[in-house]
Structure 1
Amino acid sequence: MPRRSTAPRRPVRADRRRTPLVLVLLALALAAGAVAGLALGPVRIPAGQVLEIVADGPRPGAFASIVWDVRMPRVLLAAVVGAGLAVTGAVLQALVRNQLADPFLLGASSGASAGAVAVIVLGLGAGVATSVTLPLAAFVGSLGALVTVYALARRGGTMTTGRLILAGVAVQYILSALTSLVLVLSARAEEVRSILFWTLGGLGGARWDELALPAAVLAVGTGLLLGLARPLDLLLAGEEDARTLGLDTGRFRAAVFVLTSLVIGVLVAFSGAIGFVGLMVPHAARMVVGAGHRALLPVAALGGAVFLMLTDLVARTAAAPEEIPVGVVTALVGGPFFLWMLRRSSRSEGVTG
């Protein structure tokens, strides 16, 4: 008989009175973080002047060029990627019923990076074609990694925390080793720089013409996942209970794996592998508004946008004029958080059917 988790079930209802206030506060924090991101850097621009430049729109001038052409795309990409990683992290945690799940820890980000690197090295597509082949390859890599980790961790109808983490780490190591092998064998400096970008994560290459696809995928993906809030809540109640209430858990989980892999793949195609956002932000959001996904997902989206926007600001100002990859900053914050979460869950096992 499969051993059921002894951990107490978390409530799936959110505090409806608290959620609107939390969303308003996060929206204000997002606006403040955006102003800080536009104002701070090697060239500092007063916040008041930043607001004037934004209100007036693109115009000639050094400060206006810095705000609109250099910093604005980066700030917006940070918000989009952070929101997407947090939302997919929250959904993956529900799918595997384990709060240690995360796009990075489950190998999805590494798989997406490996797919993107393959496109770069093999030279598949050029110009406009690359904007299609790169996200497509990242999606395939992300989905393949997620399915592999899930298959390795699930045994005998159960999925323990230990097996999930070990499977994720194993897949990450294999994919990282393959990426490193390509890096060593690559003879072109441009390829080496690109591969390092995918392995460490970074937002420095953000451009206006590349924002439309990740923003559209985030909007559509989050909207679809919000529509699936009730079945996601049913999964939290347990596999047997969800089936009793009419949910085809196998088909539902497969469909949502594909959807989350698509979102992760497209985001990683434009940002590289950025870890721990999908672990920390959903956990913090769940502590504030509860586990119900109708409230959790929008709070996680705004929280992820704020978090990555601020960590990217740290990445490009802490060691100025040098820039630290934002994935390094999130790992420095997320690594200790992961160890704390792992210690908390050491006496219980997550179970899925």
Structure 2
Amino acid sequence: MKAGHRVSTTVVFAGLATALVIAATAAIGYGSVSVPPLTVWKILWHRLTGLGEPSWTISQDAIVWDLRLPRMLLAALVGAGLSLVGVSTQALVRNPVADPYLLGISSGATVGAVGSLVLGISFWGATSHALAGFLGALAAFALVYALAVRGGALAPSRLLLVGVVVGHALLGVTNYLVLQADDPGKTNSALFWILGSLAGARWADLGVPVVALLIGFTALLLRARALNALLVGDETATSLGIPPTRLRRELFATTSLVTGVMVALSGSIYFVGLVVPHAVRLALGSDHRRILPAALLAGAAFLVLIDLLARSLLSPQELPVGILTAVIGAPVFLVLLSRRRVSETGL
């Protein structure tokens, strides 16, 4: 049984890695000016190693390395990060259909970023909007945490309810800020950011999400066994020497950090943290030692493909990524939920 399980796990990871490579190649090569897949990899190999004789044009090199590669990498980082915090949130509130956006953190990031756009705060250019979004996420984290803690304990049900209430309140603040914008250009920028966008990604934008993703993935992977115990119940976790309250605080802090960074850079992109972890659990079971790396790969591949669709469906116009994740994610999640119920009933 174990050998069969290892084979199935290997197949899943190999499939996810292959899907990510294919999605990345397509995202870099396809666009208003298409670059053949082989040329894409030749350019990347030459850029990384200096080897190979250039047989491509200067414009192809610029398109691949300066325009599309940073955007593809940002999509992969955001997708991986949102998937990881989806896994963390589901363990945090002990609910397999929970989503990081339910904790209100993304709404705080939205308020911060939209506020900086509407108020014209741009002392560091576009970076200031991302910083404002991250600070908004931290403020929302502090508020939700303060309201959710009672008697020194962080109860899952109370955390979820407080997160939903705070998230809706902050959504109202965001809508008010958009309505107060005195410049149609600012309004359009704010709305496009609210709906999610990876357009305009630069190499300079990648450092912070890389660090956040590494911190989040390492922190969660080191607690994989504790997450397994937490899903079973607080009593089981306590009997194994794992303090549930302290673990939930650590998970909440990690989730807030990664969510705040990703949302600050990409806007509101829904359903990634809900659909991807749920699909991974159906494929691999409930062991977080397998779920976490699989969710990272699956989330990266998923959002890279969604971003490719967003800039391709109505070309030369571009759809906000959040619209596509909602339109595609909702029915996919319903199908996954239906399959879960069938498997649970044995039908």
Higher relative contact order (CA 8 A, sep 6+): 1
Q: Secondary structure of the equivalent of 2:35?
A: coil
Is the 8 Å Cα contact of residues 111 and 144 (structure 1) preserved in structure 2? no
Alignment of 1:35-46 (within 5 A): 35-46=25-36
Moved more, 300-309 or 195-204: 195-204
Counterpart contact for 2:130–2:264, Cα < 8 Å: no
- Are 2:272 and 1:277 aligned? yes
Distance 1:149 1:24, change over 3 A: farther
In the alignment, is the contact (CA less than 8 A) between 1:274 and 1:326 conserved in 2?
yes
Q: Does 1:321 align with 2:311?
A: no
8 Å contact from structure 2 (residues 113, 130) kept in 1: no
Q: TM-score, normalised by structure 1?
A: 0.83
Q: Which of 326, 333, 344 is the aligned partner of 2:328? A: 333
- The alpha-carbon deviation at position 179 of structure 1 amounts to 0.7
Q: Which runs of 5+ in 1 are unaligned?
A: 1-13, 347-353
- The correspondence of residues 22-41 of structure 1 with structure 2, limited to 5 A, is 22-41=12-31
Deviates more, 1:233-242 or 1:183-192: 183-192
Matching residue of 2:132: 134
2:79 to 79, 82, 85: 82
| Corresponding residue of 1:257 | 252
Deviation, structure 1 residue 120:
3.7
Residue of structure 1 in register with 2:51 after alignment: none
Query: Structure 1 residues 158, 253: CA separation in 2 closer, same or farther (over 3 Å shift)?
Result: closer
1:290-329 to 2 correspondences below 5 Å: 290-329=285-324
Following TM superposition, by how much is the alpha carbon of 1:331 offset from its aligned partner in structure 2, in angstroms? 0.2
How many residues in Structure 1 have an aligned counterpart in Structure 2? Answer: 328
Give the CA deviation at 1:116. Answer: 2.3
Output the CA distance in 2 between the equivalents of 1:246 and 1:82. 33
The alpha carbon displacement at 1:304 in A equals: 0.2
The CA deviation at 1:65 is 1.1
Equivalences for residues 46-61 of structure 1 within 5 A: 46-57=36-47, 61=58
| Aligned mates of 1:86, 1:97 — CA distance in 2 | 16
SS in 1 for 2:182: coil
Q: Where do 5+ consecutive residues of structure 2 fail to align?
A: 49-53, 342-347
Q: CA deviation at 1:54?
A: 1.7
Distance 1:119 1:290, change over 3 A: same
Tell me the equivalent position of 1:177. 172
Task: Please identify which structure carries the higher helix content.
Answer: 2
Check conservation: 2:114, 2:178, Cα contact below 8 A: no
Q: Which moved more, 1:116-125 or 1:31-40?
A: 116-125
